[in-house]
Chains A and B, each alone.
Chain A
Amino acid sequence: MATAYDIATQQAEPEQGGLAPVVAVENVYKSFAGHKVLNGISLRVKQGETLAVLGRSGTGKSVLLRLIIGLDTPDSGSVCIHGQYIAGLALDRMGEIRKKMGFLFQQAALYDSLTVRENVAFPLEHHRRDLSKSERSERVRQLLAEVGMDGDLEKMPSDISGGMQKRVGLARALALEPEILLLDEPTAGLDPISSGEIDELILKLQRERQMASIVVTHDLHSAKTIAGRLALLNEGDVVIEGTFEDLQQSDIGFVKEFLQQS
């Protein structure tokens, strides 16, 4: 009988023909206090690919991202990152996998007692001790310049707007040069101009870095702009997965309704 350690350290079989997915979610179920949020969902994302996960509020989109980065654990099913099952991994072992992942939280989740500069420097100070202080400072400046925030280095998160906080959160997510980028509602609560700027920024980063990205959003326009593939969720499972054109041509009632309302 396989032990929890065996299962945790077991490597997933690479897919026949083509690249193995860097993120593979297989038949995942998740409930909170008896309320079923994810109902056997399966998704795969390959290197350099961007998947937008769409759906109404409360359909488990953010929970899916939390499961992928290991902040929550599935009730059943598996999450596999770079061929490694993450269930049951110790926090420090999981940390090694998380170093390859960047996460932008819905509310940015900046450390409110640190400045913009210190927020972005935080992961570098913990994981890139091989770099000198000046090299780390230069890297922070570059990251903030990349997201257009290099003029606000010493501001506190409470002194900048929601859109600016998202940019700083994105810079922090990119600090360790992740191979997988998870974005939770990157344009939620932003005005159309700021949303467009964030979309442009994500597109630019994807072109330059070729990361595997999963973007959770309920903004169809944003999803269409930044993602090559879209997955529409309803009642905890994927209703349809494909390009925007595939969604447009679908006969499924929920898909038609979602596109009409968006």
Chain B
Amino acid sequence: MSDRGFTAVAEINPPLPVRRTDLVSSVTSSAASLFNGFFEWFGELGIFSWRVLTAAVTPPYEWRELIRQLDEVGSKSLPLVAMAGAAIGVIISLEARYSLTRFGAKSMFPATLVYSVIQVMGPVITGLVVSGRVGAGMGAELASMKVTEQIDAIEASAINPYRLLAATRILACILMLPLLTLATDACALLTGWFAQALVEPLSFHQFISSGFNGATFNAFLPQTFKTAVYGLIIGLIACFQGMRTRGGAAGVGRAATNSVVLASLFLILADVVLVKFILVFFT
């Protein structure tokens, strides 16, 4: 259609003026809905957490399912976190060597690598990798079970789904995250040392003794075991998103995406609090 044609149409049907009051009421209503949704989500998460907690501490305990989930979260995530750790080790090694050489502090290389990996990168990378793999998997699995009424079938069979499905998965995440973090740290230190050793001779023993020189348990243990909180966040968010899913295949997709996005976001936010907590109480 020509410009003239558009003008003619516009003259025949002039656009309706947007009333200011309509716009204000629409924005107010959207904000109220967002606000309600926000508090509703946290309210439901609170109820869900209480149900899982009460189910987890009362018998019968689902040992077999817990062991299956330990394998699912732990053993099956191990190759992934090991590879991520190995890559991070090389990256930090390359970056640290360049920066430290520039400032004439090359002798600090082992300690820089050890502290960077164990205190910062190892826990966060492990958390994010597990959040991606396990969070999405759990969210999608439980959401699929929910929309196909399998969770209802479990409940109808007089089995508490919060105990069988949620408590076991969350506990497995809590127990496995610190162990996976140790694996990430070990791989990162190994490849970090290897990358350095390729450039200039440095024995592994020398690297480790120099890196950990003067270090106390308080410098490393809280940073490693804080990942249990990451595990709680990943497991809780994934199970919650999965078990409240509605709406068929689209709902399953949304649950998987939301599980990963929200778990990663809360994990990073929690890290802010945890770092401060560790600095106050453990240093």
| Chain A contact residues, CB within 8 Å of chain B | 66, 69, 71, 91-92, 94-96, 98-99, 101, 103, 105, 107, 109-112, 122-123, 126-127, 172, 176
Contacts and interface: CB of A to CB of B under 8 A. Distances in A.
A111 B156 contact: no
Contacts of B162: 91
Contact of B157 (A94, A112, A126): A126
A170 to B, nearest CB: 13
Interface of B: 51, 55, 58, 60, 144-145, 148-150, 152-153, 155-160, 162
A66 B152 CA distance: 9
Contact of A127 (B55, B148, B158): B158
A13 to B, nearest CB: 26
Given A91-B51, A91-B55, A92-B58, A112 B156 contact: no
A206 B119 CA distance: 66
B158 A123 contact: yes
A107 B150 CA distance: 10
A176 B158 CA distance: 10
Contacts, number: 57
Closest 7 CB pairs of A and B: A98-B158, A109-B149, A95-B158, A109-B153, A103-B156, A123-B157, A99-B158
Nearest to A65: B156
A211 B144 CA distance: 32
B157 A71 contact: no
Given A92-B58, A107-B148, A109-B150, A122 B155 contact: no
13 contacts: A69-B156, A91-B55, A92-B160, A94-B158, A96-B158, A103-B156, A105-B149, A105-B152, A107-B148, A110-B153, A111-B150, A123-B158, A172-B153
Nearest to B161: A91
Given A94-B158, A103-B156, A127-B158, 16 more contacts: A66-B152, A71-B156, A91-B55, A91-B160, A95-B158, A95-B159, A98-B155, A105-B149, A105-B152, A109-B150, A111-B153, A112-B148, A123-B157, A123-B159, A126-B158, A176-B157
A176 B145 CA distance: 22
A27 to B, nearest CB: 24
Contacts of B150: 109-112
A122 B150 CA distance: 12
A98 B157 contact: yes
A255 B155 CA distance: 35
Given A91-B51, A91-B55, A92-B58, A172 B152 contact: no
Given A107-B148, A107-B149, A109-B148, A126 B156 contact: no
A237 to B, nearest CB: 25
Contacts of A176: 157-158
